[in-house]
Amino acid sequence: MNRHLLAQRSTKLATSLMGALVGATLHCTVALAASSPSVVNVDTHLRAAFRPIISDFRVQAALQSIVTNEPESIQEQIRLTEIPAPPFMETKRAEYFLGLLQQRGMQHAYIDTEGNVIVRRKGSGEGPLLAIAAHLDTVFPSDVDTQVTFRDQRYYAPGIGDDTRGLATLLSVIDALDSSGLQTLGDILFIANVGEEGRGDLRGIKAVFRDHPDIDGFISIDGVNLARITTGGTGSRRFEFQFSGPGGHSFSAYGTPSAIHAMGRTISKIADFETPSLPKTTFTVGTVDGGTSVNTIAGDAVFALDMRSNDPTALATLETRAKAAALAAVLEENARWNNGDISVAFELIGDRPAGRTNADSALVQTAALAYGGLGLTLVSLHTSSTDSNLPMSLGIPAITIGGGGEAGGAHTLKEWFAPTHSHQGPQLAFLLALGLTGVEGVSPALLPER
């Protein structure tokens, strides 16, 4: 399907939803009392401070503008999707996103040394620094076709939801702020970051917090789900276990210990581990490699081990057990052949720290107020592995929210996105940004400065 036809179908679909979307937006003031105390108990003072934001006519107009501009936002989401961005190869998408910011008059936007696209929207200087991010990278290699197709009221393409939806939401929030005429008290740092997926190992966000230690709060927009807020970060440690030895011919060198045999012994030991369900702690050997041929005693072997937990202590314990299993397996292999030539090394290939933002934090409570302001139901507080892991581990308030719409098949070639009520994602992020940074003449900043 060509881009022109795709644009026509997108506009038609979004227009058909417009009536319902407008009604939902116009009634958001009435819905303020509907936030769910069963999930987040909001402080009375925060609730009172947030209320004037919802009732301000400029905020109402900006919320409506998000609905009106959503068809073009979907088109931008499509254009971003069709620019491949594998881990460590996000440059083209980053340069395109930088151009979008510059087209909006943000000539001071830049790409940092790690590859993140960053722009600082200045407030009056009387409030906190809030960072809002969405990641540029996808899990797919560069040879995967990311051309978007449309069928059955859905857009299909690898990466269409995770996380080009987040990138489109960032742009919508910027547009709403610019069109509203509202002056925030605090600054907002908008970030399109690299390195969230796979072996990217949060390198983009790690660089952001290295270079901007004055950030007071962080919001990641990732995926689409608006039923939950991610307030917990599942930690992960990933290692390559690298086995090495002399190797040799399978017949003439028989009696030489094998790197693959040592690896097999290790995997067998790890496979029998029992791990706690609370806190949830998991492991898997994801890949294995090694050897030269079927008639060679392997001189090298390697496997990649992924370990995860919602608790840093449980994760550290699991890591210690896994390394001990490998050392024991090497001793067994060397003893089996009365030869001490096999050794093992551990290379860290991924480190996502665990963390949590408590439900009583101003960030989470303001998010609950934004949900209530839009008449959305906050179903749960969630724990996952996202860019928010890093600031959570540093003690900086952080959450991850969805970008709106519906999606499925993430991390597969059949990934899809449907713009059902998708305007609610940028509306939520917009209200949250206003509440946290404060609005001049309307409300104070609800995010404390650290």
Q: With contact defined as beta carbons under 8 Å apart, do 70 and 419 qualify?
A: yes
Find the radius of gyration of the CA atoms of the chain: 25
Strand segments (E) across 104-247: 110-111, 117-121, 129-135, 149-151, 154-156, 187-193, 217-221, 228-233, 235-244
Q: With contact defined as beta carbons under 8 Å apart, do 387 and 193 qualify?
A: yes
The pLDDT, as a whole number, for residue 38 is: 66
Burial of 15: CB neighbours in 10 Å, binned 0-12, 13-18, 19+: exposed
pLDDT by residue, tens only, the chain of 450 residues: 444 444 444 444 444 334 333 333 333 333 444 444 469 999 999 999 999 999 999 999 999 999 999 999 999 999 999 999 999 999 999 999 999 999 999 999 999 999 999 999 999 988 999 999 999 999 999 999 999 999 999 999 999 999 999 999 999 999 999 999 999 999 999 999 999 998 899 999 999 999 999 999 999 999 999 999 999 999 999 999 999 999 999 999 999 999 999 999 999 999 999 999 999 999 999 999 999 999 999 999 999 999 999 999 999 999 999 999 999 999 999 999 988 899 999 999 999 999 999 999 999 999 999 999 999 999 999 999 999 999 999 999 999 999 999 999 999 999 999 999 999 999 999 999 999 999 999 999 999 999
In the three-class reduction of DSSP (H, G, I as helix; E, B as strand; rest coil), residue 335 is classed as helix
Domains of the chain (ranges, CATH numbers): 3-233+355-437 (3.40.630.10), 235-352 (3.30.70.360)
Question: Is the peptide bond preceding residue 279 cis, with omega within 30 degrees of 0?
Answer: yes
Nearest by Cα to 163 from 411, 414, 342: 411
The pLDDT, as a whole number, for residue 340 is: 82
In sequence order, which residues have a C-beta less than 8 Å from that of residue 317 and are 6 or more positions away?
A: none
CA of residue 128 relative to chain centroid, distance: 23
CA–CA gap between residue 276 and residue 417 (Å, rounded): 35
Strand segments (E) across 234-354: 235-244, 248-249, 281-290, 296-297, 300-309, 343-352
Kindly state the tokens that stand for 164: 């080009």
In sequence order, which residues have a C-beta less than 8 Å from that of residue 272 and are 6 or more positions away?
A: none
The pLDDT, as a whole number, for residue 314 is: 96
Cβ neighbours of 443 (radius 10 Å)? 20
Determine the length of the chain: 450
Which secondary-structure segment (H or E) carries 355? strand 355-356
Nearest by Cα to 219 from 406, 449, 396, 448: 396
In sequence order, which residues have a C-beta less than 8 Å from that of residue 333 and are 6 or more positions away?
A: 257, 258, 261, 262, 265, 342
In sequence order, which residues have a C-beta less than 8 Å from that of residue 15 and are 6 or more positions away?
A: 71
Kindly state the tokens that stand for 374: 């839009």
Q: With contact defined as beta carbons under 8 Å apart, do 79 and 168 qualify?
A: no
In the three-class reduction of DSSP (H, G, I as helix; E, B as strand; rest coil), residue 19 is classed as helix
Q: With contact defined as beta carbons under 8 Å apart, do 84 and 158 qualify?
A: no
**147-181: burial string, b at 16+ Cβ within 10 Å, e else:** ebebeeebbbbbbbbbbbbbbbbbbbbbbbbeebe
**pTM for the full predicted model:** 0.88
